[in-house]
Amino acid sequence: MGNFLKQFKLFGSVLGVISLIIIYFIYDALKIEKRLPIYTPNMVNTELIDSSLHYQKQKAQIADFKLINQNGDTITQQEYKNKIYVADFFFTTCPSICPIMTKNMAVVQEAILADDDIMLLSHSVTPEIDSVAQLKKYALEKGVIDHKWNLVTGDKKQIYELARKSYLAAKSDGDGGPYDMIHTENFVLVDKERRIRGFYDGTKTEEIEKLLGDIQILKASYQ
């Protein structure tokens, strides 16, 4: 009887180990890797999109651009080639959400400082006010690190079209001319293929934490 019980216990132990191995492989097979969506215009509030793109389902890329940064350097899409980056729209004299957004973008800058794959890009929506000198002054005040974060100014029509047709992140003003806009609090996560992978409220700490987590998810997808 004692022998039988020993054999039964041994059989039970072996069966238990086999069961654990089977459960592990089933879990591993069913495990779903988290992936970020690829945004298309039809996934975004129509207020933030040029009317020509309303309900468009085609995956869009950020358009080519040519703007000037806080150091007077010409910045194009080439500076962001094969980079993950976070973009937003602001202006240096904004008294409301911009200071909070800039402070939070500086938090992102600190988190990505040692990562050469990730950059930041902030577009002025009042380029007639935000000269190179004004951007430089603002950059120095806010702790902008030049090789990580470009503050750009330039042709207002181009900036407006980038906001409305590429980044899907600005509302039309409607009373100051065809290229006036109301920028939003959105931070936009862009992948190496120049596609939008996420929108985040740049005024909220929890959204910044989510953005930093999503940056790591996106980066891992290239490994």
Which segments are annotated as binding site for Cu cation? 94, 98, 183
CB atoms within 10 A of CB 145: 12
Please spell the DSSP secondary structure of 52-104, one letter per residue: GGTT--S---PPP-EEE-TTS-EEEGGGGTT-EEEEEEE-TT--SSHHHHHHH
Note whether 46 and 81 are within 8 A (CB): no
The first and second tokens of residue 17, run together, are 């180990």
The first and second tokens of residue 93, run together, are 């004299």
The first and second tokens of residue 71, run together, are 């150091």
Region of residue 8 (phi > 0: left; psi between -120 and 50: alpha; otherwise: beta) = alpha
Q: Is 194 helix (H, G, I), strand (E, B) or coil?
A: coil
Give which of 52, 34, 46, 61 is closest to 188, Cα–Cα.
Answer: 61
Residues making up the annotated binding site are: 94, 98, 183
State the Cα–Cα distance between residues 58 and 72, nearest whole angstrom: 35
Note whether 197 and 213 are within 8 A (CB): no
CB atoms within 10 A of CB 14: 10
